[in-house]
């Protein structure tokens, strides 16, 4: 991920939504064909197939930064970005105050069972939780640093649910969801990444790795050690390891040169930051067989699926992918976060599913361990739609032409198709719904999901039209997106 992507992620999700739904955002180089290296481990392949059936997950960004209601981590990085301003203009003081947030973090309202229920009722099937973001604060009981939720310096350490990551994973598993660990490879608190001996010009390691190889080696050991703590047993079954901070990666001299000389590139400290991922992944899968590894934005076999950020690809991608998208405000908790509407969320999910992807929907907890009421309302609204229509979400696969005007299409197995009509606000259901670039198989039986009435349909020149009877028009089985099922 380069600067541009980072900047764009800070813009409110709502501003993106019209673009997202219209599907006008360009496919990035990262998503172009050839950027995906298929997995070969059969257990991982099997798991990836199941993961593609799940379609809908929850991402949570939570750390001490929520106490200030600011963007996660980024304000301690020296990159000069408009979306991320420090409230104290003295950087040295600011950073000290930021790290001191550890001493006041006490989210006594933390009740992950409540979140897990809300997520399950909305139809979510997996959770990805920030065990550690770039600032280095650990939301789990690591033995490798004291900058953590269970430190004696953190008031919450006396709470019976102090090991927050474990509580989150347990609570969501209890509701039947898969557990995924977000983990930032860069660590801006660790002296082997940002060595206090030097200033920190940007997000990268701030010393020369080839001049100080022992220091880098200590960092590699630390990072691998922390990831193995998370995967080694205390945190139970982990299904997905979601690694962020793609700039921490192995690079040849040529690759470094290419980056540094590319137009608009402004980081000074780009270098080979090899944490020996291949070796780590082998160890990780010994503990967690079949583990899905997402080394985000790092080309190669350790990126089992791709993760377009805050946008939806223009068309279906020929490999597993997941759009991570902010439900309200920012990745991190903002006091006045505005959430997207139920209609926008459901249509976003359908648009993604029609292109063969998963939606990872971000909700951020606040300083007391609370979610906004609007977050619960939004999940309930989505859940209302899912109760009627979820069969047209789970287990489906993309099918060309994916989308035509307001109609999307998917398939499930060889004998079922789903057609989705994206309704505008207050739109009356049309008396005829069809496509011109796809033809239903002869003899297909069609119903609207959530009703029992068989619908009449006919072929047109190169497509089909389905007739919707007045009684369904008057009494639609759900809001936002009307779904038809064709079996044959």
How far is Cα 325 from Cα 84, in angstroms, rounded to an integer?
19
How far is Cα 84 from Cα 336, in angstroms, rounded to an integer?
17
Q: Quick check: 192 binds ligand GLC (CB under 6 A)?
A: no
Sign of torsion over alpha carbons 188, 193, 199, 204: negative
Question: Shortest approach of ligand GLC to residue 56 CB, angstroms?
Answer: 16
Nearer to ligand GLC, 73 or 154 (CB): 73
User: Residue 288 gets which letter from DSSP?
Assistant: S
Contacts of 257 (CB under 8 A, 6+ apart): none
Could you say which residues in the range 217-276 bind ligand GLC, by CB under 6 A? 244
Q: Quick check: 131 binds ligand GLC (CB under 6 A)?
A: no
| Interface with ligand GLC (CB under 6 A), residue from 324, 340, 375, 398 | 324
Residue 372 backbone dihedrals phi, psi, to 5 degrees: -65, 150
Q: Quick check: 62 binds ligand GLC (CB under 6 A)?
A: no
In 122-255, the DSSP E strands lie at 126-132, 178-184, 240-244
Q: Quick check: 31 binds ligand GLC (CB under 6 A)?
A: no
Q: Quick check: 385 binds ligand GLC (CB under 6 A)?
A: no
Peptide bond into 186 cis (omega under 30): no
Q: Which residues of 450-459 are buried (b: 16+ CB within 10 A; e: fewer)?
A: bbeeebebee
Residue count, binding to ligand GLC (CB under 6 A): 9
Question: Shortest approach of ligand GLC to residue 244 CB, angstroms?
Answer: 5
Q: Quick check: 187 binds ligand GLC (CB under 6 A)?
A: no
Q: Given strand 432-435, what is the order of strands in its sheet?
A: 432-435, 464-467, 457-459
Nearer to ligand GLC, 6 or 91 (CB): 6
Could you say which residues in the range 66-95 bind ligand GLC, by CB under 6 A? 72
Could you say which residues in the range 325-344 bind ligand GLC, by CB under 6 A? 331
| Interface with ligand GLC (CB under 6 A), residue from 1, 54, 243, 327 | 1
Q: Quick check: 20 binds ligand GLC (CB under 6 A)?
A: no
Question: Shortest approach of ligand GLC to residue 267 CB, angstroms?
Answer: 14
Q: Quick check: 303 binds ligand GLC (CB under 6 A)?
A: no
Question: Shortest approach of ligand GLC to residue 296 CB, angstroms?
Answer: 8
Q: Quick check: 295 binds ligand GLC (CB under 6 A)?
A: no
Q: Given strand 397-404, what is the order of strands in its sheet?
A: 397-404, 407-412, 416-422, 481-487, 445-448, 454-455
Residues that bind ligand GLC (CB under 6 A): 1, 6, 9, 61, 72, 244, 309, 324, 331
């Amino acid at each position: 991920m380069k600067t541009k992507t980072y900047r764009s992620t800070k813009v409110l999700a709502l501003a993106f939504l019209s673009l997202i739904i219209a599907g006008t955002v360009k496919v990035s180089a990262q998503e172009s064909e050839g950027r995906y290296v298929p997995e070969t481990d059969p257990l991982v392949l099997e798991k990836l197939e199941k993961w593609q059936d799940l379609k809908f997950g929850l991402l949570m960004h939570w750390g001490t930064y929520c106490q200030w209601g600011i963007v996660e981590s980024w304000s301690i990085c020296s990159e000069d970005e408009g979306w991320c301003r420090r409230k104290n203009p003295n950087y040295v003081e600011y950073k000290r105050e930021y790290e001191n947030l550890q001493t006041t973090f006490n989210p006594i309202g933390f009740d992950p069972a409540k979140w897990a229920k809300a997520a399950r009722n909305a139809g979510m099937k997996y959770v990805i939780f920030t065990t550690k973001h770039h600032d280095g604060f650990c939301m789990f009981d690591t033995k490798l640093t004291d900058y953590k939720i269970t430190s004696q310096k953190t008031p919450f350490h006396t709470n019976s649910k102090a090991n927050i990551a474990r509580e989150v994973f347990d609570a969501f598993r209890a509701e039947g969801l898969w557990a995924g660990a977000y983990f930032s490879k860069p660590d801006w608190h660790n002296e082997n990444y940002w060595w206090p001996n030097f200033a920190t010009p940007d997000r990268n390691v701030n010393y020369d790795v080839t001049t100080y190889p022992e220091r880098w080696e200590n960092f590699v050991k630390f990072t691998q050690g922390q990831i193995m703590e998370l995967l080694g047993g205390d945190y139970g079954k982990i299904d997905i390891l979601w690694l962020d901070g793609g700039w921490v990666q192995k690079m040849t001299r040529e690759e470094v040169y290419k980056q540094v000389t590319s137009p608009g590139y402004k980081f000074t400290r780009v270098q080979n930051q090899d944490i020996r991922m291949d070796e780590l992944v082998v160890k990780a899968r010994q503990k967690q067989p079949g583990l899905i590894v997402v080394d985000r934005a790092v080309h190669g076999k350790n990126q089992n699926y791709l993760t377009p950020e805050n946008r939806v690809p223009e068309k279906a991608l020929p490999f597993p992918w997941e759009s991570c998208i902010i439900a309200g405000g920012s990745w991190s908790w903002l006091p006045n976060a505005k959430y997207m509407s139920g209609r926008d969320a459901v249509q976003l999910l359908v648009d993604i599913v029609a292109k063969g992807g998963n939606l990872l929907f971000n909700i951020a907890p606040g300083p007391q361990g609370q979610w906004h009421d609007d977050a619960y309302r939004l999940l309930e609204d989505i859940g209302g739609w899912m109760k009627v229509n979820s069969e047209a979400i789970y287990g489906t696969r993309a099918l060309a032409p994916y989308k035509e005007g307001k109609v999307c299409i998917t398939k499930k197995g060889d004998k079922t198709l789903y057609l989705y009509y994206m309704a505008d606000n207050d739109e009356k259901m049309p008396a005829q719904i069809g496509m011109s670039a796809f033809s239903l198989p002869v003899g297909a039986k069609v119903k609207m999901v959530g009703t029992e009435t068989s619908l009449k349909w006919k072929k047109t020149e190169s497509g089909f039209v389905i007739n919707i009877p007045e009684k369904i028009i008057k009494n639609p089985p759900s809001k936002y997106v009307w779904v038809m099922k064709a079996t044959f």
